[in-house]
Structure 1
Amino acid sequence: MPESTESDDLFTMFPLEAGAPKAAFPKAEMFGQVAYQIVHDELLLDGVSRMNLATFCTTWVDDHARRLMAESLDKNIVDKDEYPQTAELEQRCVRMIADLWHAPDPAHTLGTSTTGSSEAAMLGGLAAKFRWRAKGGKGIPNFVCGPVQVCWEKFARYFDVEIRQIPLRGDRLTMHADDLAAHCDENTIMVVPTFGQTFTGLFEDVAAISRALDELQAATGLDIPIHVDAASGGFLAPFTAPDLVWDFRLSRVKSINASGHKTGLAPLGSGWAIWREATDLPAELIFNVDYLGGNMATFNLNFSRPGGQVVTSYYQFIRLGRVGYTLVQSALYGVAKHLAKGIAALGPFEIIHGGDPHRGIAAVSWRLAGEQTYNLYDLSDRLRTRGWLVAAYPLPADRGAETIMRVLVRHGFSRDMADLLLEDMKRAMAQLDRHPPSTSMTQEESGGFTHNATPAVRMHRPH
Structure 2
Amino acid sequence: MSKHTNARATTNSTESHIINPVFVRPGEATEFPKFTIPDGLSLPETAYQIVHDEAMLDGNARLNLATFVSTWMDDEARKLYSETYDKNMIDKDEYPQTAAIEDRCWKIIADLWHVPDVSKSIGTSTIGSSEAAMLGGLALKRHWQGRRKAEGKSIEKPNLVLSTAVQVCWEKFLNYFEVEPRWVPVSEEHPVFDGYELEKYVDENTIGVVAIVGVTYNGLYEPVKEISAKLDAIQESTGLDIKIHVDGASGAMVAPFCQPELEWDFRVPRVVSINTSGHKYGLVFPGLGWIIWRDTEALPDSMVFHCSYLGGDMPTLALNFSRPGAQVLLQYYNFLRLGREGYRQIQQGSIDVATYLSGQIEKLGPFELVSRGDTIPVFAWRLKEDYTDKWNLYDLSDRLRLKGWLVPAYPNAEGLENQTLQRVVVRAGLSHDLATALLRDIESEIAFLDALESPMPREGTGSHFHH
Q: Which deviates more, 62-71 or 418-427?
A: 62-71
Code of the aligned partner of 2:34: K
Task: Give how far 1:438 is off.
Answer: 4.1
Q: Residues 250, 440 of structure 1: CA spacing in aligned structure 2 closer, same or farther, 3 A cutoff?
A: farther
In the alignment, is residue 139 of structure 1 matched against residue 147 of structure 2?
no
Q: Residues 288, 269 of structure 1: CA spacing in aligned structure 2 closer, same or farther, 3 A cutoff?
A: same
In the alignment, is residue 409 of structure 1 matched against residue 426 of structure 2?
yes
TM-superposition CA deviations, 1:382-418 (whole Å, max 9, x none): 0011100001000123214210100001011111111
**Gaps spanning 5+ residues in structure 1: where?**
455-463
Which residue in the other structure is 1:110 paired with?
Answer: 122
Which residue in the other structure is 1:344 paired with?
Answer: 362
**Gaps spanning 5+ residues in structure 2: where?**
1-6, 149-153
Match of residue 135, structure 2, among 123, 126, 143? 123
Which residue in the other structure is 1:324 paired with?
Answer: 342
Which residue in the other structure is 1:79 paired with?
Answer: 91
Match of residue 168, structure 1, among 186, 190, 211? 186
Match of residue 210, structure 1, among 228, 231, 256? 228
Partner Cα separation in structure 2 for residue 441 and residue 391 of structure 1: 17
Q: Which deviates more, 69-78 or 300-309?
A: 69-78
Which residue in the other structure is 1:397 paired with?
Answer: 414
In the alignment, is residue 355 of structure 1 matched against residue 373 of structure 2?
yes
Q: Which deviates more, 429-438 or 345-354?
A: 429-438
Contact map agreement 2:380 2:424 (CA 8 A) in 1: yes
Contact map agreement 1:191 1:227 (CA 8 A) in 2: yes
Match of residue 102, structure 2, among 86, 90, 103? 90
TM-superposition CA deviations, 1:282-314 (whole Å, max 9, x none): 000000011221001000100000100000000
TM-superposition CA deviations, 1:266-295 (whole Å, max 9, x none): 110010010011110000000001122100
Partner Cα separation in structure 2 for residue 436 and residue 179 of structure 1: 48
Partner Cα separation in structure 1 for residue 175 and residue 454 of structure 2: 40
Task: Give how far 1:437 is off.
Answer: 6.2
Partner Cα separation in structure 1 for residue 116 and residue 258 of structure 2: 22
Which residue in the other structure is 2:394 paired with?
Answer: 377
Code of the aligned partner of 1:383: L
Partner Cα separation in structure 2 for residue 107 and residue 66 of structure 1: 32
Alignment of 1:251-330 (within 5 A): 251-330=269-348
Partner Cα separation in structure 1 for residue 415 and residue 233 of structure 2: 27
Task: Give how far 1:227 is off.
Answer: 0.1
Partner Cα separation in structure 2 for residue 432 and residue 183 of structure 1: 44
Max Rg structure: 2
Which residue in the other structure is 1:368 paired with?
Answer: 383
Q: How many residues align?
A: 447
Q: Residues 61, 441 of structure 1: CA spacing in aligned structure 2 closer, same or farther, 3 A cutoff?
A: farther
Partner Cα separation in structure 2 for residue 277 and residue 232 of structure 1: 23
TM-superposition CA deviations, 1:44-98 (whole Å, max 9, x none): 1100000000000000100111111111111111111100000000000011000
Contact map agreement 2:391 2:455 (CA 8 A) in 1: no
Partner Cα separation in structure 1 for residue 461 and residue 280 of structure 2: 26
Partner Cα separation in structure 1 for residue 333 and residue 309 of structure 2: 30
- Partner SS state of residue 353, structure 2: helix
Across the aligned residues of Structure 1 and Structure 2, the Cα RMSD in angstroms comes to 1.3
Partner Cα separation in structure 1 for residue 156 and residue 94 of structure 2: 44
TM-superposition CA deviations, 1:370-389 (whole Å, max 9, x none): 32121000000000111000
Match of residue 199, structure 2, among 154, 159, 181? 181
Contact map agreement 2:32 2:38 (CA 8 A) in 1: no
In the alignment, is residue 159 of structure 1 matched against residue 154 of structure 2?
no
Partner Cα separation in structure 1 for residue 57 and residue 288 of structure 2: 26
Task: Give how far 1:168 is off.
Answer: 2.1
TM-superposition CA deviations, 1:231-269 (whole Å, max 9, x none): 000000100000110000011000000000000001100
Partner Cα separation in structure 1 for residue 76 and residue 269 of structure 2: 39
Partner Cα separation in structure 1 for residue 326 and residue 348 of structure 2: 27
Match of residue 16, structure 2, among 7, 19, 28? 7
Contact map agreement 1:379 1:428 (CA 8 A) in 2: yes
- Partner SS state of residue 118, structure 2: coil
Which residue in the other structure is 2:4 paired with?
Answer: none
Code of the aligned partner of 2:394: Y
Contact map agreement 2:391 2:456 (CA 8 A) in 1: no
Partner Cα separation in structure 1 for residue 296 and residue 28 of structure 2: 57
Counting aligned pairs with the same residue, the percent is 50
Code of the aligned partner of 2:451: R
Which residue in the other structure is 1:448 paired with?
Answer: 463
Contact map agreement 1:140 1:162 (CA 8 A) in 2: yes
Q: Residues 394, 436 of structure 1: CA spacing in aligned structure 2 closer, same or farther, 3 A cutoff?
A: farther
Alignment of 1:240-255 (within 5 A): 240-255=258-273
TM-superposition CA deviations, 1:310-354 (whole Å, max 9, x none): 000000011111111111111111101100111011111101111
Partner Cα separation in structure 1 for residue 366 and residue 344 of structure 2: 34
Partner Cα separation in structure 2 for residue 320 and residue 345 of structure 1: 35
Match of residue 20, structure 1, among 26, 32, 35? 32
Task: Give how far 1:198 is off.
Answer: 1.1
Contact map agreement 1:332 1:411 (CA 8 A) in 2: yes
TM-superposition CA deviations, 1:210-236 (whole Å, max 9, x none): 000001001000000000000000000
Match of residue 69, structure 2, among 44, 57, 62? 57
TM-superposition CA deviations, 1:148-176 (whole Å, max 9, x none): 11000000000000111112234322112
Task: Give how far 1:434 is off.
Answer: 1.7
TM-score (normalised: structure 1): 0.94
TM-superposition CA deviations, 1:109-154 (whole Å, max 9, x none): 1000000000000000000000001101622101001121100000
In the alignment, is residue 426 of structure 1 matched against residue 443 of structure 2?
yes
Q: Which deviates more, 136-145 or 433-442?
A: 433-442
